[in-house]
Chain A
């Protein structure tokens, strides 16, 4: 069974640029959630995708957007990057949406915005 994978591992961008982060969910999982973890903080929920539709969103501006594909992999897109977007971005997959299913996390993508 393949776990959750994310790419790239590290990324450096400059302010104003756009970035795309990728996540492959664990085999059999149809739900992907994205979290932003600033240095020294706990992860904060960005949004969740369930069967290719957004299924809940945290307190993040519209320049944070996402996609989920038919194979349930997912992308997180961030436009007009700001310095405060520097963080570890985690994705987590679960068997189904809702709270009864445990979320399994990927290793994260470290984004640095200069």
Chain B
């Protein structure tokens, strides 16, 4: 069974600085998708970034980028120029490939605080 592990329950970053959130996963599949979701205190889960395992290039969305290391089964999220609005729970998630494999497997999350 696939698992997702986030080893940092809480992280803190100064406004305008950079922070990296860690995620490791376990799977025997070669094709899959990885995601970072953000859940602010208002609770609506928002997609931050998505990575297809068959792509070697790391995904980037504005201030958010990932470091995807397939062999190490590692998928970290880097937030540059942190803003107060980035404060939230961040969840790493895995999804298998094809057919009815569309369910997401989440880690336990990392709570990010941003200090002004």
Q: How far is the CA of A23 from the CA of B103 in the complex (A)?
A: 17
Q: Is B104 an interface residue (CB 8 A)?
A: yes
Query: Is there contact, CB below 8 Å, between A43 and B44?
Result: no
B33 close to chain A: CB less than 8 A: yes
Contacts of A98 in B (CB 8 A): 98-102
Residue of B4, B50, B100, B107 touching A102 (CB-CB under 8 A): B50
Max chain B Cβ within 10 angstroms of own Cβ: one of A42, A43, A106, A108 = A42
Minimum CB–CB distance from A42 to chain B (whole Å) comes to 3
Nearest CB of A to B60, in Å = 16
The answer on a CB contact under 8 Å between A42 and B100 is no
- A31 interface hit (Cβ, 8 Å): yes
Residues of B in contact (CB 8 Å), total 29
* Those of B60-116 within 8 Å (CB) of chain A: 91, 93, 95-109
Q: Could you mark each residue 56-86 of chain A with 1 if its beta carbon is under 8 Å from any beta carbon of chain B, else 0?
A: 1010000000000000000000000000000
B37's closest neighbor in chain A, by CB?
A: A105
Q: Label chain B's interface by main secondary structure.
A: loop
CB neighbours of A21 from chain B (8 A): none
Contact flag A33-B102 (CB < 8 Å), given A106-B44, A107-B43: yes
Q: Contact: A88 with B103, CB < 8 Å?
A: no
Judging by beta carbons under 8 Å apart, are B33 and A41 in contact?
Answer: no
Can you list, as one digit per residue, whether each of B24-52 has a CB less than 8 Å from chain A (1) or not (0)?
00000000110101000011111100100
Whether A88 and B96, one on each chain, are in contact in the complex, defined by CB atoms closer than 8 angstroms, is: no
B100: chain A residues at CB < 8 Å are 48, 50, 55-56, 97-98
Chain A contact residues, CB within 8 Å of chain B:
31, 33, 35, 40-45, 48, 50, 55-56, 58, 88, 90, 92, 94, 97-108
The 5 closest A-B pairs by CB, nearest first: A42-B106, A105-B45, A45-B103, A56-B100, A99-B95
